[in-house]
C-alpha cells in the first residue's frame, strides 16, 4: 500500500499536487499522525520525573517484547546477562546491551525482525557504504511526520 501511495504521489501532475497540498496531514496520514502529535504535545508539558517515567515505561514495553518474542534480541540480552526485569529505574536504561549495525548485519533480517502484517521494508541510506535493511510498521511514517512537523 505504501509503495502504491508513493508511486501515485510521485506521478501526480503539478497542478493537482498543488491542490492536494491543501489537504491537512491529519487526513493524509490518518490517526497515527494525530496520536503522534498529541503524544508530543503531552510529552512537552511533562516535568522531568514524569517524562523519565514515560520513557521508562515505553522502553520496558519494547525490551520485554524483544526479549520474549524475538530470537535475536532475546539471545543478545541473555548473552549479556540482561533481562527485562532489570529495568526498574530510568538510569537502568543504560544497562540494555548495545546492538551494533555489524551485529544486525550478521543475522538475517527475518531473524531480527518481528513478523507483522503490513510491515514495510526500508533501508538506511548506506552512507557508511553498507546499507542496513529493516522493517517499519505501517504507522511509522505517519508518526515520523508528526515529529518532523513539531521540529519545523
What confidence tens digit (pLDDT) does each residue in 66-118 have?
Answer: 999 999 999 999 999 999 999 999 999 999 999 999 999 999 999 999 888 88
Look at residue 58 and tell me if it is in a domain. yes
Look at residue 5 and tell me if it is in a domain. no
Domain that holds residue 123: 28-151
Look at residue 134 and tell me if it is in a domain. yes
Look at residue 9 and tell me if it is in a domain. no
Look at residue 18 and tell me if it is in a domain. no
Under a CB-based contact definition with an 8 Å cutoff, are residues 25 and 147 in contact? Answer: no
3-state secondary structure the chain: CHHHHHHHHHHCCHHHHHHHCCCCHHHHHCHHHHHHHHHHHHHHCCCHHHHHHHHHHHHHHHHHHHHHHCHHHHHHHHHCCCCHHHCCCHHHHHHCCCCCHHHHHCCCCCCCCCCCCCCEEEECCCCCCCCCEEEECCCHHHHHHHHHHHHC
Domain count, the chain: 1
What confidence tens digit (pLDDT) does each residue in 29-66 have?
Answer: 888 889 999 999 999 999 999 999 999 999 999 999 99
**Residue 49's domain is classified under what CATH number?**
3.40.50.12780
pTM (2 d.p.): 0.78
Amino acid at each position: 500500500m505504501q509503495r502504491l501511495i508513493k508511486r501515485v504521489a510521485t506521478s501526480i501532475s503539478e497542478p493537482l499536487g498543488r491542490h492536494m497540498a491543501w489537504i491537512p496531514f491529519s487526513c493524509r496520514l490518518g490517526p497515527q499522525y494525530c496520536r503522534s502529535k498529541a503524544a508530543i504535545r503531552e510529552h512537552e508539558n511533562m516535568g522531568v520525573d514524569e517524562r523519565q517515567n514515560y520513557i521508562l515505561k515505553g522502553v520496558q514495553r519494547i525490551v520485554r517484547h524483544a526479549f520474549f518474542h524475538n530470537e535475536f534480541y532475546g539471545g543478545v540480552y541473555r548473552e549479556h546477562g540482561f533481562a527485562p526485569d532489570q529495568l526498574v529505574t530510568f538510569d537502568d536504561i543504560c544497562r540494555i546491551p548495545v546492538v551494533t549495525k555489524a551485529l544486525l548485519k550478521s543475522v538475517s533480517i527475518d531473524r531480527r525482525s518481528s513478523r507483522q502484517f503490513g510491515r514495510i521494508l526500508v533501508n538506511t541510506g548506506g552512507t557508511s557504504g553498507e546499507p542496513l535493511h529493516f522493517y517499519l510498521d505501517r504507522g511509522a511514517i505517519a508518526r515520523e511526520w508528526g515529529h518532523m512537523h513539531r521540529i519545523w
